[in-house]
Amino acid sequence: MIENIAVAYPTDPLAIAGLWTALFLMLAIYSYPLWKENPVYRFAEHTFVATALAIGIIVNLQSLMNTAVTPLMKGSFLMIIPIILGLCMYFLLVPKQRWVSRYPIAILVGSSLGLGIASNPLPSIINQIISTVTPPKAGTAVWAMFPGSPTGDWFSFAFVAVGCVCATTYFLLTYEHTGPVKPVTIAGRYFIMLALGAYFGNTVLFRFSMLAERGQYILKVLGLVPL
C-alpha cells in the first residue's frame, strides 16, 4: 500500500509567513462562532470579500481574452457582437435605459433554457421512470439488504417502486388529499422524510469533513502532523 506523501515544512520565510497568515485568518473567522463577533472577524471577512471579488474579475477577464478578444484580434470579427452585448448588460445600472440589458439577458436565458429543456427530460424523467419499473438483475449488489440475496433485491425494488408512487402522489397539488388518496400521500410523506434523514446524515459528513480539514490544518502549521 502506498502511504500518503508528506511534504516537508517550508524553510522559505515568505512561505512560512504565508502558512501563519492563513492560520491567523482562519482563527479570526472562527473567533465568531467560538467566542463572539469582534473586529478581527470583521477584518478577515472584508479581506475575503475583496480577495474573492478581485480574483473573480481577473479570472473572468483572462477567460474573456481567451474566448473573445484573442479570436477577435486574429480576424474573427463576429466576436464584437457578444462583447457589445456584454457591455449592454451594464445598462442595468442606468434606470431609463435599463431595457437595453434585456437583450443579453435574453440570450443567456434562451441558451440556458434551451439546453435545460432539451437535455433534462432524458436523464431526469425518462431514465428515472425506466429504472423504477425495471426489475433488479440477479446479484446486483446495490439493491440487496443482504448481499447475494434475491429476496433482498426484490424487496428493495418493491420499496423503491411503491415509494416513488406514494411520494409523487404527495406532490400532486391539483386536487385535495382526501379519501383513498390520503393514506397514499401520508405514506409518501414518510418516504420523503426517510430521504431527508439520509440527506441530513450525508450533509453532516460533508460539513464535518470540511471542519476536520481545517482542524488538521492547525496541526500542520504547528508542525504536529506532516504537512
Judged by CB under 8 A, the chain residues 133 through 152 that form the site for other proteins are 141-143, 145-146
Nearer to other proteins, 74 or 176 (CB): 74
Count of residues for the chain? 227
Judged by CB under 8 A, the chain residues 51 through 70 that form the site for other proteins are 51-68, 70
Among 9, 38, 116, 223, indicate the residue that binds other proteins (CB under 8 A).
116
Judged by CB under 8 A, the chain residues 8 through 47 that form the site for other proteins are 14, 18-19, 21-23, 25-26, 29-30, 32-35, 42-47
Q: Using CB atoms within 10 A of its CB, is residue 155 exposed (0-12), middle (13-18) or buried (19+)? A: middle
Joined together, the cell numbers standing for residue 224 give 504536529
| Residue 205 engages other proteins in binding (rule: CB under 8 A) | yes
Q: Do residues 159 and 170 touch, judged by C-beta distance below 8 A?
A: no
Nearer to other proteins, 14 or 138 (CB): 14
Q: Do residues 132 and 160 touch, judged by C-beta distance below 8 A?
A: yes
The 3-state DSSP class for residue 209 equals: helix
Among 11, 13, 138, 171, indicate the residue that binds other proteins (CB under 8 A).
171
Judged by CB under 8 A, the chain residues 77 through 106 that form the site for other proteins are 78-79, 81-83, 85-87, 89-90, 92-93, 95, 98-99, 101-106
Nearer to other proteins, 30 or 180 (CB): 30
| Residue 119 engages other proteins in binding (rule: CB under 8 A) | yes
Contacts of 139 (CB under 8 A, 6+ apart): 148, 153
| Residue 182 engages other proteins in binding (rule: CB under 8 A) | no
Q: Do residues 104 and 85 touch, judged by C-beta distance below 8 A?
A: yes
Joined together, the cell numbers standing for residue 58 give 481577473
